[in-house]
Amino acid sequence: MDISIIETSGLGDRSYLVGHGGTAVVIDPQRDIDRILSLARDRGVTITHVVETHIHNDYVTGGLELARTVGAEYVVPAGDDVAYDRRPVHDGDVIDAGPIQLRAMHTPGHTHHHVSYVLRDTTGNVQGVFTGGSMLHGTTGRTDLVGAEHTEALTHAQYNSVRRLADELPADTRVFPTHGFGSFCSATPASGDDSTIADELVTNPALTQDEQTYVAELLAGLSDYPAYYAHMGVINKAGPPPVDLSLPIAVDPEELLTRIEAGEWVVDLRNRTAFAAGHLAGTRGFELSESFVTYLGWLYSWGEPLTLIGENTDQIAEARRQLVRIGIDKLDGAAVGEVGSLSAGTKLRSYRVASFTDLAEVLESEDFTILDVRQQQEYESSHIPGAVNIPLHKLIERMSDVPEGEVWVHCASGYRSSIAASMIDRPGRTVVLVDDEYENAEKLQLTS
């Protein structure tokens, strides 16, 4: 039995294609289903079933479209109120895909109706378990995504769900979660790419702690999560429209300048240091990397006009693919080329890029503000004395709290601070991007 992993590293998630004897089942597919269709062709298998572990809060599902495209049965946990035909699955139900058998286990916690699927072969042997957002590798899914009033009860449910999985499955059962590879759906960072029930018995807090301790620590450790999550469940329950990965219309330099002057979202996808070296005033720098879609989706004003700037059409196409995964389907255009050629005669802006070593050299002699745009929990754990903490996702609403004068901006790696620097930069303002790993600040003993 072949279990293929489809990574969506930008969102920290995994989908799965299970194939055997020419038949395949897909678990928790992402919106851009062309990846799965291509994999199924390469494997020489026919997809007969598409199953969801839960209504997702961090991405728009591709399950409905995939099932319709290939004529597969679409399986969604019973109890979830959806606006389309599907097979509702209950605890104990078996999805019979010939040589592939999946038994549903109700594992509430991440959501009320969450289901895990135990994979068995035709002899009844357990081959693995698809745990969605319940048992992750060394952690569990967060429990606060369906409303604060449900969080404590769902946290208790999560504890018992993980224990049920451990109690009912063989120790050598492989664990295949959807979340936990960088996803904000994970309560705490996950550990490793592979795991078994035996591994979880010694690493998972729901299995190594008593219930009271587990609940208290999970609730205390919950951090902010991306604002776009508010839209995902709504879209997934209604049924996402077919995905469109076509390139947006081309925008010429004059029209680009008009949009910038109107205050529209014009996003530059280039490398953060290239943006710092020269960019159009009023644009926002979101380097096209694994973190791109999370932070653009978090900060973007949902439904506002959105135009992209890229060095080539490949960048635009990749950005579009990432954006449709979280339901940002409408792009108002894109401009491609060397940034100077897109300036319509206006002067480019730039700012300095520095390291924590550079910061250490001027820390006692210069008059400037250090702006830390990490999340509050990160700041409280360790920070540079005197640094002002405004988490990146709160920067737009708190821009007036950024002190005047020169500002050195840092985060944990340089990515979040690069976005912040692009937003702060304006005429009359001096901004310095600290593009460096925070551990170097700790090595230099800049932190407390």
Note whether residue 91 is domain-resident: yes
- Residue 170: pLDDT above 80? yes
The pair of structure tokens assigned to 135 is 């048992």
Residues 12 and 130 in one domain: yes
61 and 100 fall within a common domain: yes
Confidence of residue 191 (pLDDT cuts 50, 70, 90): confident
- Please determine, for residue 92, whether its predicted confidence score (pLDDT) is greater than 80: yes
For residue 361, the model assigns a pLDDT of 94
What's the predicted TM-score (pTM) here?
0.95
How many domains does one find in the chain?
3
Closest by Cα among 353, 361, 352 to 444: 361
Give the residue from 403, 402, 285, 412 showing the smallest Cα distance to 356. Answer: 412
Residue 301: predicted pLDDT:
92
Domain that holds residue 439: 352-443
Residues 213 and 262 in one domain: no
Q: Specify the pairing of strand 126-132 against strand 135-136.
A: unpaired
Mean pLDDT of 172-186: 96
- Pair (214, 357) in one structural domain: no
Same domain, 289 and 403: no
The model's confidence at residue 90, banded by pLDDT at 50, 70 and 90, is: very high
